[in-house]
Amino acid sequence: MAFKKIYPYIRKHKKRLLFGFFIISISNLLAVLIPRFVGRAIDTIATKSFQIDFILNQIFWVIILTIGSGFLMFLTRKIIIVLSREIEYELRKDFLWQLSRLPYSFFVDYSTGKLMSLATNDISSAREFLGPAVMYTANTITTFLLALFFMLSLDVKLTLLSILPLPLITATTYIIGKKIHRSFKDVQEQFSKLSTLAQEVFSGIRLVRAFVREAYETNQFHRLSDDYRQKYIHLEFLQSLMIPLLIVLIGLSQLVVIGYGGFRVIEKTMTIGVVSQFFVYINLLIWPVAAIGWVTNLIQRANASIERLWEIFDIKIEEETVSPMTQEIQDISPSIHFNDVWFRYKEGLPWILKGISFQISPFSSIGIIGSVGSGKSTILRLITKIYSPTKGCIFIGGVPLSQIRREIISSSVAFVPQEPFLFSDTIAENVRLGKPNATDEEIEQVLSLSGFDRDLKTLPDGIHTLVGEKGVNLSGGQKQRIAIARALIAQPKILLLDDAFSSVDSETEQLILSNIFSHFSETTKIIISNRISSVMHCDTILLIDDGRIVEKGNHQSLLHLGGKYRRLYEIQKLRDEIEKEN
């Protein structure tokens, strides 16, 4: 049940909510007193012998009660609706916090479009349950009970006849409400698919245009959009049935009051004033009863949305198991030791790493080279705790990696991935992610180390130039060099470069590597590349093939070995010579 899942958010604001219920009860009490004064005035006028002061007195109280009821209703909205906005804020904040703690594998299975839909549409639907649905439910219940009490005090038989349509109202609400719940869930799922497609197309617009896929992607969007339209029209059809049907059923109550009440007036067993009061009470019930349908729509929509949201909230976070002996670690030595490490993504899938073992001394450098899919990048993801080894153990500074908190790893390790991500901000702010309090001079210095200083001179606003979404205004090589600068400014103890020079030319690559080796001599460096030129100056080089280390040594020893490394070196050397000649 949605209420059970979202109750912890309500419980924190229980006092304000109860105060809101109290205010709405007083507001409705004032509203249901109004028919009494109206009835008295009509009965007095019907006698044709009355004092104008009495009538004016009744009118005065009707005005006072109306103003009082209206003001208290405004106060109720201010309390409950504002409260729902605060809970919406808390829900959205917790949703983002939950996403930030989920493992990397979660984002492989969930699309960005679906997560965006959950963060916007579904949380807004949940808020409507916490705000309007709660407020109008309280309004309906209190109005109905108070009106029923006063109606019974006037005439029991007419009251019972006038509420005969109520079972039909309940049945209508239940039947249509269930259909609305299923329909709204379908609509939200379809919206997620639509959002995912739009996000992917906008992110990859260059690729779409390069392969002339505009027409295909447009047709795909039209198809999903048409499905969304059809499902939403079906939802709107179901919702449009609710209120008219309820108003018809209320109209039956009014017919009963006219028929039976009119008959009683003719027989002189009931006054016109009493019948008038019944009419006012029935009219008072029109909106609350009609609101049953609207509130049912909101509740069913919220139920569907809360179910979707709690698919994320119910994912258990794997807490770090840090022993008492090591939980006080605030600093680590930059040595790395892989001891018979095996890794695969899930049970039953092929092994990515198979018995990997190697050691890296503090402040040394190691290069890792191998074919695509050999497991090179996985090694860096294990060091950064994006994944955990399936078997074996990794030590950093002699401490098992599993016993070191993620924040310690994050503060000690800088990672430049294969595909650098830049935020839609300035160059300076993107670099500052590595060191939030960095000065402009420090930023310019690391950009120079990453070979970006010449590019910087061509930009009109220098380091304050906006890069666009995902760095769309920059080339691939420029984005890589900014990502390298972002890592260098953090002054890390361990620097991980995952094919970070794939989009830069050989001359720039050698310049950056020279700067890294000279300025970061007290940093342990792991460089992954498909180009031997990127790793040849490292202290140790590992050649990975099919998840195993097949060759190990420095550049010269591997050349003397005459194995795969040497063949790869000769092929790349020949290719470079051909490119120079051309």
Q: Are residues 216 and 171 in the same domain?
A: yes
Mean pLDDT of 108-114: 76
Q: Are residues 356 and 307 in the same domain?
A: no
- Please give, one letter per residue, the 3-state secondary structure of 394-407: EEECCEEHHHCCHH
Q: Are residues 359 and 306 in the same domain?
A: no
Domain CATH for 430: 3.40.50.300
For residue 471, tell me if it sits in a domain.
Answer: yes
pLDDT at 525: 94
Q: Are residues 378 and 240 in the same domain?
A: no
**Strand (E) or helix (H) holding 576:** helix 564-581
Question: Between 301 and 26, whose confidence is greater?
Answer: 26
Whether residue 58 is predicted with pLDDT greater than 80 in this model: the reply is yes
213-228 burial, b at 16+ Cβ within 10 Å, e below that, comes to: eeeebeeeeeebeeeb
Q: Are residues 144 and 238 in the same domain?
A: yes
Whether residue 194 is predicted with pLDDT greater than 90 in this model: the reply is no
CA atoms of 203 and 43, how far apart (whole Å): 73
Of 390-394, 423-427, 524-528, 549-553, the one with minimum mean pLDDT is 423-427
What sign does the dihedral 388-394-396-401 (CA atoms) show? positive
Whether residue 286 is predicted with pLDDT greater than 80 in this model: the reply is no
Pure H helices in 257-355: 262-266, 272-313
pLDDT at 155: 87
pTM of the model: 0.68
Q: Cβ contacts of residue 422 below 8 Å, gap of 6+?
A: 430, 467, 470, 471, 474, 479, 482, 483
Q: Are residues 276 and 353 in the same domain?
A: no
Q: Rank 42-51, 175-184, 384-393 by mean pLDDT and report only the highest.
A: 384-393
Q: Cβ contacts of residue 243 below 8 Å, gap of 6+?
A: 290, 293, 294
Mean pLDDT of 383-399: 90
- Looking at the structure of the chain, the number of domains it has is 2
The candidate with the shortest Cα–Cα distance to 284, out of 26, 21, 30, 18, is 30
Mean pLDDT of 553-577: 88
pLDDT at 328: 56
For residue 497, tell me if it sits in a domain.
Answer: yes
Tens-digit pLDDT profile for residues 77-91:
888 888 888 888 999
Domain with 431, as residue range(s), is 336-581
Whether residue 342 is predicted with pLDDT greater than 90 in this model: the reply is yes
Neighbour count for residue 99 (Cβ, 10 Å): 16
For residue 198, tell me if it sits in a domain.
Answer: yes
Q: Taking the chain, what is the end-to-end CA distance rounded to the nearest angstrom?
A: 70
Domain boundary among 251, 279, 313: 313
Q: Give the β-pairing of 365-370 and 524-529.
A: parallel
Question: Between 552 and 175, whose confidence is greater?
Answer: 552
Q: Are residues 463 and 501 in the same domain?
A: yes
pLDDT at 394: 93
CA atoms of 408 and 400, how far apart (whole Å): 13
**How many residues does this entry show for the chain?**
582
Q: Are residues 304 and 157 in the same domain?
A: yes
Domain CATH for 237: 1.20.1560.10
Whether residue 49 is predicted with pLDDT greater than 80 in this model: the reply is no
CA atoms within 13 A on the CB side of 289: 27
CA atoms within 13 A on the CB side of 446: 26
Whether residue 526 is predicted with pLDDT greater than 90 in this model: the reply is yes
Q: Are residues 268 and 360 in the same domain?
A: no
Pure H helices in 388-475: 406-412, 427-431, 440-449, 453-458
Domain boundary among 262, 282, 313: 313
Q: Cβ contacts of residue 159 below 8 Å, gap of 6+?
A: 148, 151, 152
For residue 320, tell me if it sits in a domain.
Answer: no
Residues 285, 144 contacting (CB under 8 angstroms): yes
Q: Are residues 340 and 309 in the same domain?
A: no
* Opening angle at CA 84, ends 78 and 90, nearest 5: 135
Tens-digit pLDDT profile for residues 447-476:
999 998 888 888 888 889 888 877 778 888
Whether residue 200 is predicted with pLDDT greater than 80 in this model: the reply is no
CA atoms of 468 and 354, how far apart (whole Å): 41
Q: Are residues 249 and 347 in the same domain?
A: no
Rg (CA), the chain: 36
What is the average pLDDT value for the chain, to the nearest integer?
A: 85
pLDDT category of residue 213 using cuts at 50, 70 and 90: confident
For residue 325, tell me if it sits in a domain.
Answer: no
pLDDT category of residue 160 using cuts at 50, 70 and 90: confident
Q: Are residues 282 and 382 in the same domain?
A: no
For residue 329, tell me if it sits in a domain.
Answer: no
Tens-digit pLDDT profile for residues 299-339:
777 888 888 888 888 888 766 555 555 555 667 888 999 99
For residue 328, tell me if it sits in a domain.
Answer: no
For residue 505, tell me if it sits in a domain.
Answer: yes
Tokens found for residue 571: 């092929």
Can you point out the beta strands (E) in 56-158?
none
Mean pLDDT of 128-136: 80
